[in-house]
Amino acid sequence: GDPIVVLWKAGTASALDDTEIALSRDVGSAAAFSRTVGRETLGFIVEGDTIRDRQTQSEWDIFGHAVAGRLEGERLDAIQATDSFWFDWAAFHPKTDLWHP
């Protein structure tokens, strides 16, 4: 398959965790992108709250935009992905394998 990256960033509260969203736990936000920019396939690392590619050390945001560095102004191509609750996914896809680096 095509090389992809799933970017995750803290700062989104669960709408289902409490009667008031402001009191809910932080579940973050995620988005999936192709790792290819031009002819280069990028690898990504997270340093604190900063997402960087290994090849150019450019900084990326959760929306797939390079916001600083050699690739500033470039954009990763978004791919269709589903963000769902595990209990929902597991019920409909019981043969799913989990992977953790």
More confident residue, 99 or 41: 41
Q: Which amino acid is at 37?
A: V
User: Over the stretch 24-75, which tens digit does the pLDDT of each residue have?
Assistant: 888 888 999 999 999 999 999 999 989 999 999 999 999 999 999 999 999 9
pLDDT(17) > 90: no
- What band does 84 get if pLDDT is binned at 50, 70 and 90? confident
pTM, two decimal places: 0.76
Give the integer Cα–Cα distance in Å for 17 and 95. 27
Element (H, E) at 8: strand 4-9
38: left (phi over 0), alpha (psi -120 to 50) or beta: left
Give the integer Cα–Cα distance in Å for 49 and 81. 23
- Tell me, what's the pLDDT at 39? 92
- What band does 15 get if pLDDT is binned at 50, 70 and 90? confident
Give the integer Cα–Cα distance in Å for 91 and 12. 25
pLDDT(18) > 90: no
Q: List the domain boundaries for the chain.
A: 4-90
Give the integer Cα–Cα distance in Å for 43 and 33. 12
